């Protein structure tokens, strides 16, 4: 599996005041340490764990670029799959099929399904490996407001969460994150991130109506 670091290791500096990669790393590590110890006082290995998490945050920057690309202020919201594809210019797209459009960016698949609603789907999977991306943290480090609308989980290793994303210079949009960490070395890990391009942002009530069998709540493990 080829992970994405490269030139996008620090796209963060493009947003706002003079910031360096070291500044962002230091800020992230301090916040990660504080949050971890607030949840688990006296936990060991906090600094090492946060340093590993930072690598996943930095690695997520190209994926954040893709997810934000349809929503730039001043540009009309994409109304077709072709318009959405053209916004996600970093992706190496294949030919359109009856199932929609598929492409690749480094180690992830990117799709625009043919079925409504119009959306961009980023997916990764592997056997026995930890998920190597932290999309939510990467968005927040860029200054985006990432507000959880609702989530449900299956124990400590699998969850589905829906957020409202509001980033500077971009229209708000809904983002769903399905994440499964492999519980054993022979099990599969998955990450699927969906950005809805139709402008609709759900509420907790609407999520519960659409999936009444899911235990939607406002906080997950």
Q: For residue 217, is it within any domain? A: no
pLDDT value of position 137: 94
Please check whether residue 198 lies inside any domain of the structure.
Answer: yes
pLDDT at 40: 87
Range of the domain at 31: 6-210
Q: Tell me, yes or no, whether 220 lies in a domain.
A: no
Domain count, the chain: 1
Residue 218 included in any domain: no
Task: Give pLDDT tens digits along the chain (221 positions).
Answer: 333 333 333 344 333 344 567 888 998 999 999 988 898 888 888 899 999 999 999 999 999 999 999 999 888 889 999 999 999 999 999 999 999 999 999 889 999 999 999 999 999 999 999 999 999 999 999 899 999 999 999 888 899 999 999 999 999 999 999 999 998 889 999 999 999 999 999 999 999 999 999 999 998 86
Does a structural domain hold residue 112? yes
DSSP letter for each residue of 108-172: EEEEEESSSSPEEEEEEEEES------HHHHHHHTT-EEEEEEEEESTTSEEEEEEEEE-TTB--
Closest CA to 21 of 35, 32, 4, 8: 8
pTM to 2 decimal places: 0.86
Inside any domain, residue 1? no
pLDDT recorded at residue 155: 81
**pLDDT at residue 19, rounded to an integer:** 54
Q: Is residue 67 part of a domain?
A: yes
Q: Domain for residue 197, yes or no? A: yes
């Amino acid at each position: 599996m080829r992970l994405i670091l490269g030139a996008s290791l620090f796209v963060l500096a493009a947003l706002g005041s003079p910031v360096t990669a070291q500044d962002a790393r230091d800020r992230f590590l301090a916040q990660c340490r504080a949050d971890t110890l607030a949840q688990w006082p006296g936990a060991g290995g906090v600094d090492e764990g946060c340093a590993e998490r930072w690598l996943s945050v930095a690695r997520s920057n190209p994926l954040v670029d893709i997810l934000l690309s349809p929503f730039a202020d001043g540009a009309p919201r994409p109304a077709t799959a072709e318009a959405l594809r053209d916004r996600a210019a970093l992706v190496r797209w294949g030919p359109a099929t009856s199932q929609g459009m598929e492409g690749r960016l480094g180690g992830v698949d990117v799709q625009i399904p043919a079925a409504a609603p119009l959306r961009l789907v980023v997916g990764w999977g592997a056997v026995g490996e930890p998920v190597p991306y932290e999309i939510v943290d990467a968005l927040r480090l860029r200054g985006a407001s990432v507000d959880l609308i609702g989530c449900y989980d299956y124990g400590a290793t699998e969850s589905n969460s829906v957020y409202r994303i509001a980033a500077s210079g971009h229209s708000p949009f809904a983002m769903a994150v399905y994440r499964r960490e492999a519980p054993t070395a022979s099990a599969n890990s998955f990450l699927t991130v969906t950005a809805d391009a139709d402008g609709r942002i759900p509420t907790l009530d609407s999520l519960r109506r659409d999936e009444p069998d899911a235990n939607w709540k406002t906080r997950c493990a």
